[in-house]
Structure formats: C-alpha cells, structure tokens
A = this chain, B = another copy of it.
Amino acid sequence: MHASFNAATIALSAPKFGSQFPAAVTGFAKPQLIINFAADEEIYGPGDKAGTFYKVAYGAVRICRLLTDGRRQIIAFHLAGETFGFEPGLTHGFFAEAITETGLRAFNQYESAETSHELLSLALNEMVRAQEHLLVVGRQTAFERIISFLLDISSRQGDLEHTELPMSRIDIADYLGMTIETVSRAFAKLRQDGYINLPNARTVEIRRGHALRDLCE
C-alpha cells in the first residue's frame, strides 16, 4: 500500500523523466529509479489515476478484475521485461498486483509525443494477447488450457526446459477460468504422461514441447 502510493507519486510528479521515456521503453535508459513492491502488494486499483505505465524490472505482476461475489479473473501476467498499465480513460479499471517481490520502472503516458507510436504498438500487442487468451478460455478444455499456459509462460521466460512459475495455483486457475483442483489434476496428468517434470510445485520442466504444442493446436 505504501509503495503503491509512492509509485503513483513518483511517476506523476517527476517531469525529469520525460526526456528519457523513448529510450527507456526500448531498453536504453540511463540508470533509473526502480519502485519495489512486496508479494501481493497492490500497484494500482480501479479508480486510481491512470496515465502511467510500467515496465517490470524483476518479479511478476497480475492484472485482474473481481465480481462482487469474489469471483476473480486474471486478465494477464506480466514478467520481467514486459510493459503494462495503459488504459483508455483517466482512471484504471483493473487491479495490478505484484505476485512476488517485484521492481517496476514507471513512465508517463502523456509526457512525450515520440512515444505515441511505441505506445500504440504496445497497446496493440496487449490487445492481441487478450484476444488470443479469449480463445483459450472460451474454447479449450481444462487440459488444453494448462498446456497453452505452460507453453506461453515458458516461451516468455526463454527457457523451455526449465520454467519457474512465479504464481500460485489459484492465480493460474483464475487466469484460465477454472479451479485450483482442476489445475492440479491437469499438471498431474501431464507429469504421468511424461510431458513434463515437476521437481516442485513452482518448477516445470517441459520434456516434449513439440508434442505439447500439437495437443493444444
């Protein structure tokens, strides 16, 4: 909560960041302030002022939304190197929370016209990510969803054979629109069938990535 407040404060009140944005987004920033969040700490929530976006320095972030009875849908996970936080209006409509201990670099969305094209590209990619996730959640079986998820995360981490899952089974379930029990059973089945190793609950070693790809098309 405290660091969350700092995040907004720093990002919105430090005009000196302006000239660095274009370079920073592409990864060529000068040494820059990193805002740290503890596990499960809120980064922003519905109603909070928008206009800032974030690049994950380390850790992982979940974007989610709740129904009034507590049902939760995680819209996206963001890992190190990825960018999130853009919204069309003046305020956020979703929660962003640190999953593990996480560091973020903040950028002001309206600071520089030069970033507009870059920002458009990021927004479009995020749009497509959500759209493709719709296919997974809407039309794939529980088993296929887990496979899609594992292939997605492992490819984004760069190492197919050794994948660290920063998120809990509950997070995975709420991302894929299922329950933790079904998530767990799907993992167990994949291990039994020799597609993956599970040294522990948060580590996945994909053994037959190509075969897995075929299983969820």
Contact = CB atoms under 8 A, between A and B. Distances in A.
A133 B63 CA distance: 14
Contacts of A94: 131
A122 to B, nearest CB: 9
Interface stretch (A10-18, A20-28, A134-142): A134-142
A193 interface: no
A6 interface: no
**Residue of A63, A67, A119, A127 with most chain B CB atoms under a 10 A cut-off:** A127
Give the interface SS of chain A, mostly helix, strand, loop or mixed. Answer: helix
Interface stretch (A68-76, A97-105, A161-169, A197-205): A68-76
Interface of A: 63, 65, 67-69, 71-73, 75-76, 86-88, 93-94, 116-117, 119-121, 123-128, 130-135, 137-140, 174, 176-177, 217
